[in-house]
Amino acid sequence: MNDFIEKIATHASVRDFKNSPLSPEVKQTLLTAARSGSTSNFVQAFSIIEITDQTLRAELAEISNSAPYVKKTGTFYVFVADLYRQSKLLTDNDKKLDGLTNMEPLIVSIVDTTIAAQNMAVAAESMDLGICYIGGIRNDVRKVSQLLKLPKYTLPLFGLTVGVPASRNKVKPRLLEKNQVSENYYPKEQFTDLTDYEKITKDYYGSRESNQRQASWSERNVAFFEEIRRPEIAEFLREQGFTLN
Ligand SMILES: Cc1cc2nc3c(=O)[nH]c(=O)nc-3n(C[C@H](O)[C@H](O)[C@H](O)COP(=O)(O)O)c2cc1C
């Protein structure tokens, strides 16, 4: 394993940062990394908004329920799945938008945006910075969209807080390889036999330094997925011009 892969394999989200801003050179490097990823059909369907206004940052932190590590960090970016540029190209050329508003381009833009963000995340970690994705901005997706003045055919997907870690969490044990990786076909029983992982995650949650709990990964996932979260997202996407067909 080379040093870069070692860094990837020991990733842990950072939620406790020093109050140190990132230099313009470091931020430029992060943006170059983000903007250099693979992109479906070269559409580059994402935008990145750095939140430098502290009042705006505080509002996003509040919405996200992640105040300490959105307010006190090196910098905070919002990653926007973005088909507005292409919508303008089409309308400027008197074309219909049907090929841009259905489900497939929306998936494309969400994937492009995620690849860009993850490129930035690994670049940051390669420089010993810490990161945490902030999907919490979708707690009030309309408000975030208004605050950032987002046009139609866009979705504020998540934030990424990047900074100098004040402390680091332990690496969370991932699903076992046998539960996630196979050859040639999908082995239903093998992928869903979580007995060994149950034990590992119970030990992990019960022994970690902060936020200890008596729970396993499976229990957490049942609790997570039995609730309908953010039911307004589909309606918001329709308001943004997507048909979801
Ligand atoms: C798309 C996405 C959104 C996330 N949103 C949040 C968030 O709003 N707040 C937070 O504290 N962590 C957030 N996380 C971090 C996850 O909780 C974290 O990656 C996961 O628990 C695994 O832990 P690790 O990153 O330390 O390995 C998010 C991660 C992803 C990929």
Q: Which atom of ligand 1 is nearest to the CA of 11?
A: 27
| Residue 11 Cα to ligand 1 middle (Å) | 11
- Are 201 and 154 found together in one domain? no
Ligand 1 mean position, distance from CA 132 (Å): 6
* Domain final residue pick, 107, 139, 170: 170
> Is position 141 within any domain?
yes
Residues 197, 108 share a domain: no
Q: Report the pLDDT value the prediction gives residue 67, as an integer from 0 to 100.
A: 87
Amino acid at 142: R
Indicate the number of domains in the chain: 2
Is 238 a domain residue? no
Average pLDDT by stretches of 10, the chain with 245 residues: 94 97 98 98 98 97 94 97 98 98 98 98 98 98 98 98 96 97 98 96 87 88 96 98 97
- Residue 150: domain span: 3-170
Q: How many CA atoms lie within 13 A of 15 on its CB side?
A: 13
The atom number, within ligand 1, closest to the CA of 169 reads 26
Q: Are residues 57 and 156 in the same domain?
A: yes
Dist. CA 86 → ligand 1 center (Å): 30
Has residue 244 been placed in a domain?
Answer: no
**One domain, residues 55 and 100:** yes
Among 129, 154, 170, the domain-final residue is 170
CATH code for the domain of 53: 3.40.109.10
Q: What is the pLDDT of residue 213?
A: 83
Q: Is the residue at 227 inside a domain?
A: no
Task: Give the integer Cα–Cα distance in Å for 32 and 116.
Answer: 10
Cα 90 to ligand 1 centroid, rounded to whole Å: 36
Within this chain, do residues 163 and 45 fall inside the same structural domain, yes or no?
A: yes
Which pLDDT score is estimated for 209? 79
Task: Judge whether 245 lies within some domain.
Answer: no
201 and 131 belong to one structural domain: no
Question: What whole-number distance in Å separates Cα of residue 223 and Cα of residue 185?
Answer: 29
> Ligand 1 — pocket residues by CB below 6 A?
11-13, 15, 64, 66, 132-136, 158, 169, 172
Cα separation values, 122 from 13, 54, 58, 196, 231, Å: 11, 26, 26, 29, 31
